[in-house]
C-alpha cells in the first residue's frame, strides 16, 4: 500500500510538473512573439490601469441618434451632419462660455445651412474645424485634403488618428500614436471641372496642426487664432515635414518628441470611463428650442443655458462630434487588449483625451532599449545559474519573479502616470530560460 501511495504521489508530481512547464513554455513563446512582432507593453499597462486623472478642461458634446431625431424626425439617420444643427450647437456653446470649440465633423463640401454655421463660428472666434486626408502615399507626394468651408473663419486642423498600425492579432487599426503637425495640400473648388477652377483655393503644403494641438494651444494662448499657423511655419519645414521644437514653445507642457513625430497616446480611460464629461446634443437642442422658435418669428431671445451644463462647458475645450452608429468614427485602442478586434472608442473621445494630455503634460515616457535588455539578460543568466536541480521551488520562485515584474510595471505606470518600464524582454528571456532549464533537468533525470 505504501508503494502504491508513493507511486501515485510521484505520478501526480510528474503530471503537475509537466503541466506547469508546458504552460510556461506557451507563455514564453507568447512573450517572445510579443517582443519580436513589436508588441507594446503599454497596451497591457493601460488595460489594467483603467482610468487616470484628467485636467477638467475638456468636455464632449455628443451628437447621437436622439439628437438627429429631434432635429429632423423625417431623416433621423443622416449620412451628412446637418450644418444647421452644427450652427445651433456652436451658438449654444458661445452663450454657455466655451473657450474653444472643436468641430470634429467634416465640412469639406458646401451644404445647406453653411451661412448660419459660418456666422456662428465667426461669432465665437475660437473654433477648430476638422479636415481629414490619407496619412501617406506610396509615391511620397504630400497628402491631399479638401479644405473645410469654415477654413476662413475657423482654425483648420487635420483629424486623422493615425499613425494607425496593424495590430498583432487582427486587421483592425489600433490607435497608439498621433502626429501633432504635418504637411498637407489643401484645396477647395466652386464646382466641377473646368469652371470650378475659377476662384479656387489652393495651398500646396503649408504645415498644419492636429486637432489636439490647435485646441490645446487655443485654450492656453490669448493670441489670435491665426498666430498658430505662423508659429508652425517658422518651426516646421522640408519634405517630408520636420519640426525643430516640441509643444513647449506654444505655451504647453513639453512633449517627449518633436511635433512631426508620433506622440504616444496616454489614454485617460476607456469609452465613458475616463472622467471627461459628455453633454448630449439632444439636451442642448431642447434648451435652444425657445430661442430658435422666437427667431423664426423675427424675435431675438437669449439662449437658455442650464446651470449644470454651463458648469461643464464654461471656459473649457468642447469637442463636438458624432457618436451614433452611422458615424463610422470608431477606433480600436489598447483597452480592447488582448483581442484588438472590435472598435471600442469614438473619434471625438480620442481627440478629447489627447487634448487633455497636451494640457496636463502627462505623456508616455518609455524606458527601453539597453536599459531593459541588459537586466533581462542578467535575470536569464540567474535562472540558469540557480537551476542546477530545477526543483519545484526554483520553478515557483522564478514564476513569482515574472509576476512581480509585470505587477511592478503596471504599478509604476499608474503611480507616475505614463512612465513605461518595458518588462517584456525580461519576461520573454526569463520564461524561456526557465523552460530550457526544466526541460534539461527532466531529460537528465530520464537518462
Tens-digit pLDDT profile for residues 363-386: 999 987 888 889 999 999 998 888
For 294-316, write each residue's pLDDT tens digit: 888 888 888 889 999 999 999 99
Q: Residue 350 pLDDT more than 70?
A: yes
Shared-domain flag, residues 345 and 380: no
Domain-located, residue 4? no
Same domain for 72 and 27: no
- Whether 2 is covered by a domain: the verdict is no
Average pLDDT over residues 324-353: 85
pLDDT score, position 438: 74
Domain final residue pick, 308, 330, 360? 360
Q: What is the DSSP string of 190-235?
A: SSSTTGGGTT-EEEEEEEEEBHHHHHHHHHH--S-TTHHHHHHHHH
pLDDT of residue 144: 82
Same domain, 201 and 221: yes
For residue 9, being part of any structural domain is answered with no
3-state secondary structure of 77: coil
pLDDT at 248 over 90: yes
Write the Ramachandran bin of 369: left for phi over 0, alpha for psi from -120 to 50, otherwise beta: left
C-alpha cell belonging to residue 69: 431625431
**Count of residues making up the chain:** 447
Per-residue confidence (pLDDT) for residue 27, from 0 to 100: 64
Whether the pLDDT of residue 426 is over 80: the answer is yes
The whole-number pLDDT of residue 279 equals 96
**End-of-domain residue from the set 321, 339, 360:** 360
Residue 5 lies in a domain: no
Element (H, E) at 63: strand 58-63
Task: Kindly give, in sequence order, each residue whose CB lies less than 8 Å from that of residue 115, ignoring residues fewer than 6 positions away.
Answer: none
CA distance 110 to 145: 15
Q: Please give the residue range of the domain that contains residue 429.
A: 16-48+364-446
Confidence bin at 165 (pLDDT 50/70/90): low
pLDDT (0 to 100) of residue 188: 82
The verdict on 29 and 159 lying in the same domain is: no
- Bridge partners, residue 330, by sequence: 346
- Among residues 305, 327, 360, the one where a domain terminates is 360
One domain, residues 305 and 381? no
Distance between CA atoms of 405 and 389, rounded to whole angstroms? Answer: 24
Phi and psi torsions of 74, nearest 5°: -85, -15
Is residue 422 predicted with pLDDT exceeding 80?
Answer: yes
Q: What is the pLDDT of residue 202?
A: 78
pLDDT at residue 38 greater than cutoff 80: no
Predicted local distance difference test score (pLDDT) of residue 14? 56
- Decide if pLDDT at 29 tops 80: no
Do 24 and 78 have their domain in common? no
Q: Are residues 292 and 373 in the same domain?
A: no
Contacts of 75 by beta carbon, 8 Å cutoff, 6+ apart: 68
Please, which pLDDT band fits residue 22 given cuts at 50, 70 and 90? low
Contact status, residue 423 vs residue 405, Cβ threshold 8 Å = yes
What value does the mean pLDDT take over residues 250-275?
Answer: 92
Shared domain for 332 and 198, answered yes or no, is: yes
149 lies in a domain?
A: yes
Statement to judge: residues 287 and 330 lie in one domain: yes
The mean predicted confidence, pLDDT, of the chain is 85
pLDDT of residue 186: 83
pLDDT score of 116: 95
237 in the same domain as 205 = yes
Residue 349 sits in the same domain as residue 415? no
Which of 93-97, 420-424, 436-440 ranks highest by mean pLDDT? 93-97
Band of pLDDT at residue 47, cut at 50, 70 and 90: confident
| Domain count across the chain | 2
Please check whether residue 11 lies inside any domain of the structure. Answer: no
- pLDDT at residue 215 tops 90: yes
**Same-domain status, 382 and 421:** yes
Question: How many DSSP H helices and E strands does the chain contain?
Answer: 13, 19
Q: Is residue 1 part of a domain?
A: no
Q: Taking a C-beta distance cutoff of 8 angstroms, is the pair 218, 128 a contact?
A: yes
Is 6 part of a structural domain of the chain? no
Amino acid at each position: 500500500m505504501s508503494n502504491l501511495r508513493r507511486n501515485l504521489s510521484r505520478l501526480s508530481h510528474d503530471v503537475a510538473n509537466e503541466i506547469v512547464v508546458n504552460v510556461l513554455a506557451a507563455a514564453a513563446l507568447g512573450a517572445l512573439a510579443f517582443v519580436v512582432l513589436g508588441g507594446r507593453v503599454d497596451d497591457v499597462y493601460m488595460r489594467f490601469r483603467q482610468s487616470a486623472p484628467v485636467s477638467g478642461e475638456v468636455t464632449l458634446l455628443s451628437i447621437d441618434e436622439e439628437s438627429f431625431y429631434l432635429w429632423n424626425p423625417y431623416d433621423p439617420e443622416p449620412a451628412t451632419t446637418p450644418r444647421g444643427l452644427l450652427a445651433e450647437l456652436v451658438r449654444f456653446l458661445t452663450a454657455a462660455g466655451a473657450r474653444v470649440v472643436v468641430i470634429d465633423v467634416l465640412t469639406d463640401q458646401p451644404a445647406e445651412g453653411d451661412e448660419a454655421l459660418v456666422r456662428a463660428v465667426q461669432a465665437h472666434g475660437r473654433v477648430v474645424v476638422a479636415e481629414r486626408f490619407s496619412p501617406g502615399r506610396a509615391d511620397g507626394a504630400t497628402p491631399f485634403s479638401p479644405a473645410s468651408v469654415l477654413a476662413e473663419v475657423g482654425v483648420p486642423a487635420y483629424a486623422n488618428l493615425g499613425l494607425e498600425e496593424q495590430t498583432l492579432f487582427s486587421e483592425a487599426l489600433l490607435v497608439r500614436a498621433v502626429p501633432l503637425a504635418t504637411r498637407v495640400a489643401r484645396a477647395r473648388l466652386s464646382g466641377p471641372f473646368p469652371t470650378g477652377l475659377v476662384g479656387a483655393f489652393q495651398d500646396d503644403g503649408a504645415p498644419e496642426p492636429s486637432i489636439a494641438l490647435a485646441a490645446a494651444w487655443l485654450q492656453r494662448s490669448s493670441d489670435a487664432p491665426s498666430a498658430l499657423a505662423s508659429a508652425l511655419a517658422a518651426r516646421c519645414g522640408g519634405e517630408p515635414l520636420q519640426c525643430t521644437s516640441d509643444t513647449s514653445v506654444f505655451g504647453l507642457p513639453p512633449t517627449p518628441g518633436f511635433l512631426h513625430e508620433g506622440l504616444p497616446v496616454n489614454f485617460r480611460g476607456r469609452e465613458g470611463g475616463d472622467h471627461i464629461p459628455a453633454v448630449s446634443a439632444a439636451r442642448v437642442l431642447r434648451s435652444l428650442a425657445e430661442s430658435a422658435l422666437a427667431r423664426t418669428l423675427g424675435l431675438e431671445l437669449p439662449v437658455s443655458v442650464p446651470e449644470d451644463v454651463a458648469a461643464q462647458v464654461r471656459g473649457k475645450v468642447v469637442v463636438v462630434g458624432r457618436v451614433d452608429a452611422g458615424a463610422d468614427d470608431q477606433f480600436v485602442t489598447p483597452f480592447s487588449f488582448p483581442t484588438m478586434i472590435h472598435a471600442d472608442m469614438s473619434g471625438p473621445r480620442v481627440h478629447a483625451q489627447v487634448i487633455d494630455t497636451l494640457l496636463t503634460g502627462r505623456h508616455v515616457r518609455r524606458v527601453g532599449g539597453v536599459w531593459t535588455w541588459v537586466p533581462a539578460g542578467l535575470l536569464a543568466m540567474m535562472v540558469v545559474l540557480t537551476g542546477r536541480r530545477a526543483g519545484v521551488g526554483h520553478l515557483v520562485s522564478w514564476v513569482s519573479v515574472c509576476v512581480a515584474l509585470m505587477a511592478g510595471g503596471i504599478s509604476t505606470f499608474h503611480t507616475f502616470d505614463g512612465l513605461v518600464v518595458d518588462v517584456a524582454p525580461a519576461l520573454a528571456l526569463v520564461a524561456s530560460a526557465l523552460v530550457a532549464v526544466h526541460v534539461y533537468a527532466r531529460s537528465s533525470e530520464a537518462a
